[in-house]
Protein backbone atom coordinates (compact mmCIF):
# COMPACT_ATOMS: atom_id res chain seq x y z
CA UNK A 1 0.00 0.00 0.00
CA UNK A 2 1.19 3.50 -0.77
CA UNK A 3 -0.32 5.56 2.05
CA UNK A 4 1.15 6.51 5.43
CA UNK A 5 2.69 3.47 7.18
CA UNK A 6 0.50 3.86 10.29
CA UNK A 7 -2.67 3.73 8.18
CA UNK A 8 -1.30 0.76 6.27
CA UNK A 9 -0.55 -1.18 9.47
CA UNK A 10 -3.98 -0.35 10.88
CA UNK A 11 -5.53 -1.71 7.67
CA UNK A 12 -3.37 -4.84 7.92
CA UNK A 13 -4.57 -5.37 11.50
CA UNK A 14 -8.20 -4.72 10.54
CA UNK A 15 -8.08 -7.08 7.57
CA UNK A 16 -6.29 -9.82 9.49
CA UNK A 17 -8.66 -9.58 12.48
CA UNK A 18 -11.83 -9.60 10.40
CA UNK A 19 -10.47 -12.38 8.18
CA UNK A 20 -9.64 -14.49 11.25
CA UNK A 21 -13.07 -13.90 12.79
CA UNK A 22 -14.77 -14.82 9.51
CA UNK A 23 -12.72 -18.04 9.37
CA UNK A 24 -14.04 -18.89 12.84
CA UNK A 25 -17.58 -18.34 11.51
CA UNK A 26 -17.00 -20.92 8.75
CA UNK A 27 -16.90 -23.71 11.32
CA UNK A 28 -20.10 -25.73 11.68
CA UNK A 29 -22.12 -25.51 14.86
CA UNK A 30 -24.04 -22.28 14.57
CA UNK A 31 -26.59 -22.01 17.36
CA UNK A 32 -30.27 -22.79 16.79
CA UNK A 33 -31.55 -26.34 16.58
CA UNK A 34 -34.36 -25.31 14.27
CA UNK A 35 -31.97 -23.95 11.66
CA UNK A 36 -32.14 -25.47 8.23
CA UNK A 37 -28.96 -27.09 6.98
CA UNK A 38 -29.07 -25.07 3.75
CA UNK A 39 -29.27 -21.82 5.71
CA UNK A 40 -26.21 -22.79 7.76
CA UNK A 41 -24.28 -23.76 4.60
CA UNK A 42 -25.17 -20.41 3.04
CA UNK A 43 -23.96 -18.49 6.09
CA UNK A 44 -20.69 -20.42 6.05
CA UNK A 45 -20.28 -19.61 2.35
CA UNK A 46 -20.78 -15.90 3.13
CA UNK A 47 -18.24 -16.17 5.96
CA UNK A 48 -15.69 -17.79 3.62
CA UNK A 49 -16.10 -14.95 1.11
CA UNK A 50 -15.65 -12.40 3.90
CA UNK A 51 -12.57 -14.23 5.24
CA UNK A 52 -11.00 -14.11 1.77
CA UNK A 53 -11.74 -10.39 1.56
CA UNK A 54 -10.23 -9.70 5.00
CA UNK A 55 -7.06 -11.68 4.31
CA UNK A 56 -6.74 -10.09 0.86
CA UNK A 57 -7.08 -6.62 2.37
CA UNK A 58 -4.38 -7.43 4.92
CA UNK A 59 -1.99 -8.66 2.22
CA UNK A 60 -2.67 -5.71 -0.07
CA UNK A 61 -2.29 -3.16 2.74
CA UNK A 62 1.23 -4.20 3.81
CA UNK A 63 3.39 -1.06 3.40
CA UNK A 64 5.72 -1.07 0.40
CA UNK A 65 8.56 0.08 2.66
CA UNK A 66 8.34 -3.22 4.58
CA UNK A 67 7.50 -5.69 1.82
CA UNK A 68 7.92 -4.76 -1.80
CA UNK A 69 5.69 -7.41 -3.32
CA UNK A 70 6.96 -9.20 -6.41
CA UNK A 71 5.74 -8.03 -9.80
CA UNK A 72 3.43 -11.04 -10.15
CA UNK A 73 1.65 -10.45 -6.80
CA UNK A 74 -0.80 -7.91 -8.21
CA UNK A 75 -1.72 -10.28 -11.06
CA UNK A 76 -2.33 -13.13 -8.59
CA UNK A 77 -4.49 -10.89 -6.37
CA UNK A 78 -6.45 -9.69 -9.42
CA UNK A 79 -7.02 -13.29 -10.56
CA UNK A 80 -8.10 -14.53 -7.11
CA UNK A 81 -10.51 -11.66 -6.57
CA UNK A 82 -11.76 -11.82 -10.16
CA UNK A 83 -12.78 -15.44 -9.58
CA UNK A 84 -14.32 -14.41 -6.23
CA UNK A 85 -16.32 -11.62 -7.92
CA UNK A 86 -17.72 -14.00 -10.57
CA UNK A 87 -18.57 -16.60 -7.89
CA UNK A 88 -20.33 -13.95 -5.79
CA UNK A 89 -22.35 -12.79 -8.78
CA UNK A 90 -23.45 -16.37 -9.45
CA UNK A 91 -24.47 -16.82 -5.80
CA UNK A 92 -26.15 -13.41 -5.49
CA UNK A 93 -29.60 -14.82 -6.21
CA UNK A 94 -29.38 -16.96 -3.05
CA UNK A 95 -28.06 -14.41 -0.57
CA UNK A 96 -28.03 -10.61 -0.67
CA UNK A 97 -24.56 -10.35 0.90
CA UNK A 98 -23.02 -11.91 -2.22
CA UNK A 99 -23.87 -8.77 -4.24
CA UNK A 100 -21.81 -6.72 -1.79
CA UNK A 101 -19.02 -9.32 -1.96
CA UNK A 102 -19.04 -9.03 -5.76
CA UNK A 103 -18.55 -5.26 -5.52
CA UNK A 104 -15.84 -5.69 -2.89
CA UNK A 105 -14.00 -8.33 -4.93
CA UNK A 106 -14.27 -6.16 -8.05
CA UNK A 107 -12.81 -3.25 -6.06
CA UNK A 108 -9.91 -5.48 -5.00
CA UNK A 109 -9.31 -6.41 -8.66
CA UNK A 110 -9.38 -2.72 -9.55
CA UNK A 111 -6.89 -1.80 -6.82
CA UNK A 112 -4.55 -4.66 -7.80
CA UNK A 113 -4.74 -3.63 -11.47
CA UNK A 114 -4.14 0.02 -10.59
CA UNK A 115 -1.05 -0.86 -8.56
CA UNK A 116 0.24 -3.14 -11.33
CA UNK A 117 -0.49 -0.55 -14.03
CA UNK A 118 1.27 2.21 -12.11
CA UNK A 119 4.46 0.16 -11.93
CA UNK A 120 7.54 1.78 -10.48
CA UNK A 121 6.19 5.34 -10.51
CA UNK A 122 3.62 4.48 -7.86
CA UNK A 123 6.25 2.84 -5.68
CA UNK A 124 8.30 6.01 -5.83
CA UNK A 125 5.26 8.03 -4.76
CA UNK A 126 4.78 9.88 -8.05
CA UNK A 127 1.36 10.26 -9.60
CA UNK A 128 -2.02 8.81 -8.76
CA UNK A 129 -3.07 5.28 -9.62
CA UNK A 130 -6.37 4.18 -11.07
CA UNK A 131 -9.18 6.01 -12.83
CA UNK A 132 -10.49 8.92 -10.71
CA UNK A 133 -14.12 8.38 -11.81
CA UNK A 134 -14.13 4.67 -10.93
CA UNK A 135 -12.31 5.35 -7.67
CA UNK A 136 -14.91 8.01 -6.83
CA UNK A 137 -17.82 5.65 -7.60
CA UNK A 138 -16.32 2.95 -5.39
CA UNK A 139 -15.69 5.47 -2.61
CA UNK A 140 -19.34 6.56 -2.78
CA UNK A 141 -20.54 2.93 -2.74
CA UNK A 142 -18.50 2.00 0.34
CA UNK A 143 -19.37 5.24 2.15
CA UNK A 144 -23.10 4.66 1.58
CA UNK A 145 -22.73 0.99 2.58
CA UNK A 146 -20.96 1.92 5.83
CA UNK A 147 -23.58 4.53 6.73
CA UNK A 148 -26.57 2.31 5.88
CA UNK A 149 -25.16 -0.81 7.55
CA UNK A 150 -23.99 1.22 10.55
CA UNK A 151 -27.49 2.62 11.07
CA UNK A 152 -28.99 -0.88 10.85
CA UNK A 153 -26.37 -2.19 13.28
CA UNK A 154 -27.03 0.55 15.84
CA UNK A 155 -30.78 0.00 15.68
CA UNK A 156 -30.57 -3.79 16.36
CA UNK A 157 -31.88 -4.61 19.86
CA UNK A 158 -29.39 -6.33 22.14
CA UNK A 159 -30.42 -9.91 22.93
CA UNK A 160 -30.42 -10.95 26.57
CA UNK A 161 -28.07 -13.82 27.43
CA UNK A 162 -29.24 -14.35 31.04
CA UNK A 163 -29.77 -17.93 32.12
CA UNK A 164 -27.68 -19.46 29.31
CA UNK A 165 -24.62 -21.57 29.96
CA UNK A 166 -21.18 -20.04 29.40
CA UNK A 167 -20.30 -22.35 26.49
CA UNK A 168 -23.63 -21.67 24.79
CA UNK A 169 -23.06 -17.92 25.18
CA UNK A 170 -19.59 -18.23 23.63
CA UNK A 171 -21.00 -20.08 20.61
CA UNK A 172 -23.85 -17.59 20.35
CA UNK A 173 -21.46 -14.63 20.44
CA UNK A 174 -19.17 -16.24 17.86
CA UNK A 175 -22.10 -16.56 15.45
CA UNK A 176 -24.01 -13.42 16.47
CA UNK A 177 -25.44 -11.68 13.39
CA UNK A 178 -24.60 -8.30 14.93
CA UNK A 179 -20.92 -9.23 15.13
CA UNK A 180 -20.95 -10.42 11.52
CA UNK A 181 -22.56 -7.10 10.50
CA UNK A 182 -19.94 -5.16 12.47
CA UNK A 183 -17.26 -7.15 10.62
CA UNK A 184 -18.78 -6.16 7.26
CA UNK A 185 -18.89 -2.52 8.29
CA UNK A 186 -15.24 -2.70 9.40
CA UNK A 187 -14.16 -4.23 6.10
CA UNK A 188 -16.12 -1.61 4.13
CA UNK A 189 -14.36 1.13 6.13
CA UNK A 190 -11.06 -0.58 5.30
CA UNK A 191 -11.94 -0.69 1.60
CA UNK A 192 -12.85 2.99 1.72
CA UNK A 193 -9.47 3.82 3.31
CA UNK A 194 -7.57 1.68 0.78
CA UNK A 195 -9.33 3.40 -2.11
CA UNK A 196 -8.38 6.78 -0.67
CA UNK A 197 -4.71 5.83 -0.90
CA UNK A 198 -4.89 5.13 -4.67
Domain extent listing, the chain: 5-196
Check residue 41 and give its pLDDT.
80
Long-range contacts, 61-69 (Cβ 8 Å, 24+): 61/1, 61/8, 61/9, 61/11, 61/12, 61/15, 61/190, 61/194, 62/1, 62/8, 62/12, 63/1, 63/5, 63/8, 63/9, 64/1, 64/2, 64/123, 65/5, 66/5, 68/123
Q: If DSSP codes are grouped into helix, strand and coil, which group holds residue 10?
A: helix
Q: For residue 157, how many other CB atoms are within 10 A of its CB? A: 6
Give pTM, 2 decimals. 0.80
Residue 31 DSSP symbol: S
Which among 26, 1, 23, 18 is positioned nearest to 189, based on CA atoms? Answer: 18
How many other β-carbons are positioned within 10 Å of the β-carbon of residue 27? 12
Percent of the chain with pLDDT over 70: 79
Q: Is the model more confident about 143 or about 152?
A: 143
Q: How far apart are CA 150 and CA 52, in angstroms?
A: 22
Count CA atoms closer than 13 A to 164's CA, side-chain side.
13
What tens digit of pLDDT does each residue of 17-73 get? Answer: 999 999 988 887 654 444 567 777 888 888 899 999 999 999 998 887 787 778 888
Q: What percent of the chain has pLDDT over 90?
A: 40
Residue 32: predicted pLDDT: 45
Amino acid sequence: MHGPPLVAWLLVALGAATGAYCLVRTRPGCPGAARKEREEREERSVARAEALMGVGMAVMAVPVSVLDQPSWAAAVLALVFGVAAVRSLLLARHHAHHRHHAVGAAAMVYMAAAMEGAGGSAHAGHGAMGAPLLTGLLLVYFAVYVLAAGVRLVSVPVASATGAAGATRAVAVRHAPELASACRVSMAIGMFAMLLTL
